[in-house]
Chains A and B, each alone.
Chain A
Amino acid sequence: MLTDPSFWLVQSLNSLQLAMLLFLLSVGLTVIFGLMNFVNLAHGSLYALGALIGYSIAEASGSVWWAFALAPVAVAGVGAVLYITLIERLRSAGPLPQVLVTFGLIFVLMDAQRYLWGTDALGVTGNVPFSGTIHIGVEPYPAYRLFIIAVGFAVFGGLYLLLNRTRLGAEVRAGVDDAETAAALGVNVERTFFLVFLLGCALAGLAGAVAMPAFSAEAGMGVGILVPTLVVVVVGGLGSLSGAFVGSLVIGATLTFGTALFPDFAGIAMYAALIAVLLFRPHGLLPARG
């Protein structure tokens, strides 16, 4: 098995696919943290919302492309409501109250999802793009997984350009480095916070919508994915785009090769990686601030 090149190829692709899904989820979380200094524990619930809204859009329109396009917008809309009603009020209260509010939101959003979409697992029944397989060498591989990988890279590229080539990106970088100085220099920090929060929510929604055809959509599915996402954020280093990318690759590979090579330790491999990274690099692999 270990000498078989197709094993390494296929499992590397599997690992990359999982990594890109984790990246879409963690990048929003990590930038929100870097900028606003709090962890949005309801981020996983937004992922679930993206999947469920995406399901409804796909069923209504007959095309998952509409789901990919509109679910992120809808989830960003939910994010805007949450920001204005809850998060903004707690801006000056410090990080712990904000974390707790998002912890309470997990329960509220989960029940809202159950109320609106019911308790049964859902999945699109219509046509899904890239539903065939592609032969890589001799091995057939799901085209949809390659699509997820492509989406992950595209988002990484887009965010890289956004951060490094636009005014908003410059403001975000300034805000992550030192919010007070940035504000003193005339950056509208509150507006930047708001936009970044919306962007993070939209990316969580996109992750949900993109995952939905390959997995399924279910009320409460966000709770299971939350912990791996948090682990990625911490391993990668808080607040950094490349950190989230590298952290996703590390955790994706840990989960994939951990399960393939050491099945008995599949459950704990991720936590062991987390603890190891924190011990040797207490601020993660590529933190935004030293």
Chain B
Amino acid sequence: MMKRTVLAAAAAAMLAALPAKAADYKVGILLPFSGVYAGLGAHIENGFMLGLKDFGGELGNNTVSVVRDDTEADPGASLAKAKKMVLSDKVDVLTGIVSSAVLGALRDFVHGSKTPLVVSNAGNDDATGERCSPYITRVSFSNSSITRVMGPWMAKQGIKTAYLMAPDYAAGRQMMDAFRATFEAAGGKIVGEAYPPLQGTKDYGPYISQAKASGAQALMTFFAGGAAISFVKQYKEFGAAKDLPLYGAGFLTSAAYVHVQGEAADGIIASLHYVPTIDTPENKRFQDGYKAAYEGKLGSEFAVAGYDAAHLIVKAIAAAGGDKAKFKGELAKVSFNGPRGPLRIDPATHNVIQNMYIFRNEFADGKVTQKVLATIEGVQDPVNGCKI
């Protein structure tokens, strides 16, 4: 009853403010629902659906309908599916995209067809740098923004030497390069680095042995998914925690699987745009809703990206009313407080501007929790050659 009153009031306010026109907005979700990234796809979709439910009330008279398709984690197939959604299904906005290769494949098409795309994972720096587009808005993160904040912070803790380790692909390299730049600028020194193959046996023993032998004061890493679980467990097995404390991009101990790492995650310090223990009403609402909707599971940073993508789209629709041409321009003007804190879109690159949290994982009573050590507010990427 209460909700209906609010809805009616919102609708009335909308009607007063805008030309009396409402529209149905069609959203096309493109995510990997099969293959190695299927887990991330599920998290993001869950978050997106929860976001539509939580914020749907702000739509006024407008309605949102959703079509979804599997990117098959294949750039060629993704492009065909995106074309189908835009040209046949006539979607007004695309969202999703986990892999940066898929984003690269779609970029020219969405740019050329002037279809708004709200990216909810793929972190390639170039996507909001040299290859940016006024039609591509990213609510997730850029690779370099995650690790860039760690350089000065670690240097301030008295760490002078670090060893780098990440899978050998673009995201791994970008994250490590960003850390190297700020760590060296703060007076630190990189004494060694290693880039294990992305796909392979996931046996990191040889690399961990190498890193230990380097005598570095810290091991800075980026791993995600199954590789992150394997890496953290093997790092613990090798008894490296004493001499070579582990730092990383926060995906290393993502809320999606930190409970599996358990005790092995204890003491790992990492940086990320979201930590499940953030104490705000927005985050509580998100986590409570997520637990209720998805078998008591913890909402991960991937789910948050989906949730905020839905929030962003809803807000842009609310601002544009039924005017679909205006809607395209509104996406980059949206700002709100999400589960991760304040979030806005950089008008120069259409990348997200958000807080970064440096946190320590603490294992107690069979559970891992995250203690935030520092919050770096309003982290914003340089323009990186983007012209919008």
| A17 interfacial contact with B, CB 8 Å | yes
A72–chain B nearest beta-carbon distance, Å: 21
Is the Cβ of B213 less than 8 Å from the Cβ of A1? yes
Q: Hey, which chain B residues are within 8 Å of A216, CB to CB? A: 226, 229-230, 233, 257, 260
Q: Hey, which chain B residues are within 8 Å of A15, CB to CB? A: 206
| A160 interfacial contact with B, CB 8 Å | no
B105–chain A nearest beta-carbon distance, Å: 22
Q: How far is B38's CA from A218's CA once the two chains are assembled, in angstroms?
A: 11
| A169 interfacial contact with B, CB 8 Å | no
Say which residue of A11, A121, A267 sits within 8 Å of B197 (CB atoms).
A267
A266–chain B nearest beta-carbon distance, Å: 6
Chain A residues 121 to 179 lying within 8 A of chain B, measured CB to CB, are 121-123, 125, 131, 133, 140-142, 144-145
Is the Cβ of B206 less than 8 Å from the Cβ of A256? yes
Flag A58-87 by CB within 8 Å of B: 1 or 0 each: 000000000000000000000000000000
Contact of A144 with B207 at beta-carbon distance under 8 Å, contacts A266-B197, A267-B168 already known: no
B interface residues, how many (CB within 8 angstroms): 39
Flag A235-272 by CB within 8 Å of B: 1 or 0 each: 00000000000000000000111011001001100000
Contact of A260 with B206 at beta-carbon distance under 8 Å, contacts A121-B39, A123-B261, A125-B366 already known: yes
A98–chain B nearest beta-carbon distance, Å: 26
User: Chain A binding site: helix, strand, loop or mixed by DSSP?
Assistant: helix
B296–chain A nearest beta-carbon distance, Å: 13
Q: How far is B39's CA from A114's CA once the two chains are assembled, in angstroms?
A: 9
| A10 interfacial contact with B, CB 8 Å | yes
Which of B234-242, B283-291, B338-346 is near enough to bind chain A? B234-242
Contact of A215 with B230 at beta-carbon distance under 8 Å, contacts A122-B260, A140-B239 already known: yes
| A188 interfacial contact with B, CB 8 Å | no
Contacts A21-B203, A221-B226 supplied; 13 other A-B pairs, CB < 8 Å: A17-B203, A18-B201, A118-B39, A121-B226, A123-B233, A133-B239, A145-B205, A213-B233, A214-B237, A215-B202, A215-B230, A218-B225, A260-B209
List chain B positions with a Cβ less than 8 A from chain A: 34-36, 38-39, 41-42, 168, 194-197, 199-203, 205-207, 209-210, 213, 225-226, 229-230, 233-234, 237-239, 256-257, 259-262, 366
Q: Which 4 A-B pairs have the closest CB atoms?
A: A142-B237, A119-B39, A216-B229, A123-B260
